[in-house]
Amino acid sequence: MEHFGKIEKGIFFDNDIYIYDNKGNKIDYTSYNADGSLTKKETYQYYNKGNLVEYNMYNTNSSLFSKYIFKYYDNWTQAPQGKLNRDNFLQSQQ
């Protein structure tokens, strides 16, 4: 395990990786167990103004678990537009 530039013996519990775009928006989050197996993956997409438009969650085998789609009104109030179920059919949130 590396700690402040020095290699040290220790217990590795998990590893979380966050990726951000050049505007500071989180676009990817991935978490791994100590054995390197995937525990969680999420992706995010944004409008030009930085508002979240899509949020995806993935199973541990990297298959899509759920997808949330957001719509913004004139005052940029966020409202969930829908969620894809496991059969990839859009279910309305309204």
Give the pLDDT confidence score for residue 25 in this predicted structure: 92
Residue 45 pLDDT: 94
For the chain, the average pLDDT equals: 76
Query: What are the tens digits of pLDDT across the range 36-78?
Result: 899 999 999 998 878 888 999 999 999 988 888 887 766 655 5
Neighbours of 88 (CB within 10 A): 8
Does the pTM surpass 0.85? The reply is no
Domain boundaries along the sequence of the chain: 11-92
Distance CA 43, CA 66 (A): 11
**Which class does domain 11-92 fall in?**
mainly beta
Q: Is the pLDDT of residue 94 over 80?
A: no
Specify the pLDDT at position 39: 92
